[in-house]
A and B are shown apart, each in its own frame.
Chain A
Amino acid sequence: MKILVCVKQVPDTNEVKIDPVKGTLIREGVPSILNPDDANALEAALAIKDNDPNVKVSVLTMGPPQATEMLRECLSMGADDAYLLSDRAFGGADTWSTSNTLAAGIRKIGDLDIIFAGRQAIDGDTAQVGPQTAQRLNIPVVTYVQNVELAGDKVIVQRQMEDGYELIEVKTPCLLTAVKELNEPRYMSIYNIVDACSKEITVWGHEDIKLSPENCGLKASPTQVFRSFTPPTKGKGEMLTGTTAEVSKSLISKLKGLHVI
């Protein structure tokens, strides 16, 4: 069985700071991490491999050359091999272009049983690339997967809903997107870290995956950023001071005065 996991290197948005003067993101010094949902996707694949040594787990990403660091992390967690789609032509891609590029890479890798991806990446939060890649490969997709069980040439998954879940049967090959409830990602192992350093990471540009520059990156993206800005914050209100009893009474009388309670 061959499993592919689509991963993304993202800035840790918990560490992102805003330049108070320019109102722009300060990217410097912000650590790059393996996208959290993608770590769950990789764990799901590795858990299947734990039970069956014949399973091969590959990881695939699109990104700049420094994404190899994250791919080595994936190898250190236990992935067998790694592919990086890296080309200046891929830059500035929206989800249309990203899914087109990933799909081209996946076609070249070929012959896969399950493709896992994270539900969404924390820098964009779109949750679009997984299902869109599946559409381009014309394979079934289940998003928001919180449990996976293999059943022959089928997979039985729990699809998380807002108020519970759906138990869904899907035939392989298929693409599944993982939520964090799916599992607890493992740490890198010392044995694998040593191994990962010596492994070759396959790097492909647009020609390698037979994708013309017009069909990837910014050029092919239907959506464009018109402008970006820091969110306006609601102005600071009134701090209530006094004893606990005083501030509580004062709060209630103010709210009553505003006719909200």
Chain B
Amino acid sequence: MSKSREEIALELKQHIVTYLNLLDIKPEEIKNDEPLFGGDLGLDSIDSVELIVMLDREYGIKIKNPTEGRTILNSVDSILDKIQSEN
């Protein structure tokens, strides 16, 4: 049985917290529509590379086009769209 969008979202948030070592943030505290960059999470360009590596390792998604990457990494929702479109 395939996972629901909510289940994938929680798993994705857990990966984000682990890969970025977000010390004070729990996965469930990240909102699906919250901008990952320029918002309260305080992520920067190094984090964007960490997220690209995470998508490659955990979901087999390779982001090679920077413009496409900017759109995909906008929020948890946008990453979820990409994950679901690949499967």
Q: Do A and B share a complex?
A: no
